[in-house]
């Protein structure tokens, strides 16, 4: 088998490197020709203006006095008009470019396959896809914080311990305005946690209400003194117990509707 020459190997490596990333920017011959033509036109215009100015300067001393004034007025007016038109064109182009720049989206600048070589375009596309997948996977899902409601559920942003303890003032205000207000204990350090405790001890509550009140008391004690955070089930049970208690107390006339 014939071994390749060193020169051929170097050419093959150079050809491979040309299409790998990072790569050398491609030469845009059309852009170079366009810039060269624009530069040639600008130089031609400046040369014509300077030649005209020189020719006018040569012809003015040879003219009469009356024609000198008119020629100077025409010359100055023409050059002032050219300068003003040029400045107006530059200002309008400046505003147009600023408007175009502000219309470019800042969050995402599209890169087409025609902007860069295909390997570089594939690399950029793969990196965008990988970043999008990582951002999607990194979003929290099916994760709960102990003592708080799960996102996407009716209990979202609900702190169970705070919500359970918040039922105490509501029950106190409700029971203080009815016939059972005489059993309502005063606020002191020795007063019970729940307003239902004096009613349970006095035995004035009907047996159906006693069972619900005791279940409510257990959840309330765990929420106030328990080490573990209340669960979603405890919160749902508490809501159900409070609704049942209020309904039964209104039915027997213990509280005002």
Residue 204 lies in a domain: yes
Question: Tokens 């349970």 map to which residue?
Answer: 200
pLDDT for position 188: 44
In a domain, 134, yes or no: no
Asked whether 174 and 250 are in contact (CB, 8 A), the reply is no
Q: Name the residue range of residue 86's domain.
A: 6-102
What domain count does the chain have?
2
Whether residue 176 is found in the same domain as residue 246: yes
C-alpha pair distances (Å), 171 with each of 86, 213, 242: 82, 12, 9
**Does 84 reside within a domain?**
yes
126 domain residue, yes or no: no
Alpha-carbon distances of 218 from 8, 111, 130, 222, 223, rounded to whole Å: 87, 63, 51, 6, 9
Predicted pLDDT at 8: 53
C-alpha span between 242 and 257 (Å, rounded): 15
119 in a domain, yes or no? no
Task: Give me the pLDDT at residue 13, please.
Answer: 43
Asked if residue 151 belongs to a domain, the reply is no
139 within some domain: no
Give the distance, in angstroms, between the CA of residue 162 and the centroid of all CA atoms in the same chain: 31
Please work out, in degrees rounded to the nearest 5, the angle formed at the alpha carbon of residue 167 by the alpha carbons of 166 and 171. Answer: 135
Tens of pLDDT along the chain (257 residues)?
Answer: 444 444 554 554 444 444 444 445 566 788 888 889 989 988 998 888 788 778 777 776 776 666 667 777 777 887 788 888 888 888 998 888 888 878 766 665 656 777 677 887 888 888 888 888 888 887 766 666 788 888 778 888 888 888 888 888 877 777 766 655 555 554 444 455 677 777 777 777 777 778 888 888 888 888 888 888 888 888 898 888 888 888 777 776 655 55
User: How far apart are alpha carbons 43 and 48 in whole angstroms?
Assistant: 9
Q: Are residues 10 and 88 in the same domain?
A: yes
pLDDT at 40: 93
Question: According to the model, what pLDDT value does residue 143 have?
Answer: 66
Domain boundary among the residues 71, 102, 133 is at: 102
Res 108: pLDDT? 57
Residue 142: C-alpha distances to residues 115, 150, 151 (Å): 42, 8, 8
Q: Which of 86, 102, 118 is the last residue of a domain?
A: 102
Would you call the peptide bond into 22 cis, given omega within 30 degrees of 0 as the criterion? yes
47 in a structural domain: yes
Report the alpha-carbon distance of residue 160 to residue 148 in Å, rounded.
6
Three-state helix/strand/coil letters over the chain: CCCCCHHHHHHHHHHHHHCCCCCCCCCCHHHHHHHHHHHHHHHHHHHHHHHHHHHHHHHCCCCCHHHHHHHHHHHHHHHHHHHHHHHHHHHHHHHHHHHHHHCCCCCCCCCCCCCCCHHHHHHHHHHHHHHHHHHHHCCCCCCCCCCEECCCCCCECCEHHHHHHCHHHHHHHHHCCCHHHHHCCCCCCCCCCCCHHHHHHHCCCCHHHHHHHHHHHHHHHHHHHCCCCCCHHHHHHHHHHHHHHHHHHHHCCCCCC
């Amino acid at each position: 088998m014939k071994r390749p020459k060193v020169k051929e190997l170097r050419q093959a490596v150079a050809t491979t490197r040309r299409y790998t990333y990072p790569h050398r920017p491609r030469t845009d011959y059309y852009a170079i020709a366009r810039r060269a033509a624009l530069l040639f036109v600008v130089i031609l215009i400046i040369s014509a203006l300077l030649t005209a100015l020189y020719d006018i300067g040569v012809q003015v001393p040879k003219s009469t006095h009356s024609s000198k004034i008119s020629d100077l007025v025409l010359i100055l007016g023409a050059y002032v008009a050219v300068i003003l038109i040029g400045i107006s064109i530059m200002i309008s182009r400046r505003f147009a470019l600023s408007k175009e720049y502000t219309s470019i989206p800042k969050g995402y600048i599209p890169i087409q396959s025609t902007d860069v070589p295909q390997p570089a375009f594939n690399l950029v596309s793969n990196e965008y896809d990988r970043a999008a997948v990582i951002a999607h996977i990194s979003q929290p899902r099916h994760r709960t914080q102990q003592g708080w409601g799960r996102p996407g559920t009716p209990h979202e942003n609900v702190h169970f311990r705070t919500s359970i303890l918040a039922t105490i003032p509501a029950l106190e205000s409700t029971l203080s305005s009815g016939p059972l207000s005489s059993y309502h204990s005063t606020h002191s350090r020795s007063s019970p946690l729940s307003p239902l405790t004096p009613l349970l001890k006095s035995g004035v509550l009907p047996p159906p209400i006693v069972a619900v009140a005791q279940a409510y008391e257990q959840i309330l004690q765990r929420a106030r003194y328990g080490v573990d955070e209340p669960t979603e089930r405890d919160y749902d049970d508490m809501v159900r117990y409070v609704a049942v208690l209020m309904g039964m107390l209104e039915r027997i006339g213990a509280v005002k509707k």
